[in-house]
């Protein structure tokens, strides 16, 4: 069974940067559109960024110009580089396919942006 493991979260001050990683246990993931999602306390989970198997990317308006999604096929890993972080970016970040597959939701990684 395919598993996705997120890592790289942490505590950072506004304006700081973090890079999240999502490691897939199955090489088949390279054929799927992958995405990063986030869920802030009291809010619904939202899509942050997606990347197709061909490398095309798309971003939520709230993160355009600040976040960059990428993938390393050889490592079965998807990344999310987050720059110029804001307090409103505070959330648990998850990776999954797009559209998401329920069995693939993992524990996520917490990102906290605060001074």
pLDDT in tens, 31-72: 899 999 999 999 999 999 999 999 999 999 999 999 999 999
Per-residue pLDDT tens over the stretch 68-77: 999 998 899 9
pLDDT of 1 over the 90 cut: no
- pLDDT for 42 equals 94
What band does 19 get if pLDDT is binned at 50, 70 and 90?
very high
pLDDT at 97: 94
Higher pLDDT among residues 99 and 1, named by residue: 99
Spatial strand order in the sheet of 91-97: 10-12, 109-113, 91-97, 34-39, 46-51, 57-59
Give the bridge partners for 92, in sequence order. Answer: 39, 110
83: Cα within 13 Å, side-chain hemisphere? 6
Dist. CA 89–CA 87, nearest whole Å: 5
Please tell me the distance from the alpha carbon of residue 13 to that of residue 85, in angstroms, as a whole number: 8
């Amino acid at each position: 069974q395919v598993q996705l493991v997120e890592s790289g979260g942490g505590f950072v001050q506004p304006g700081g940067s973090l890079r999240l990683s999502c490691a897939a246990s199955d090489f088949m993931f390279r054929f799927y559109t992958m995405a990063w999602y986030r869920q802030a306390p009291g809010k619904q989970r939202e899509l942050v960024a997606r990347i197709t198997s061909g490398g095309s990317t798309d971003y939520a308006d709230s993160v355009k110009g600040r976040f960059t999604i990428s993938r390393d096929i050889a490592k079965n890993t998807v990344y999310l580089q987050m720059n110029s972080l804001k307090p409103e970016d505070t959330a648990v970040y998850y990776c999954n396919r797009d559209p998401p597959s329920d069995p693939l939701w993992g524990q996520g990684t917490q990102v906290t942006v605060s001074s």
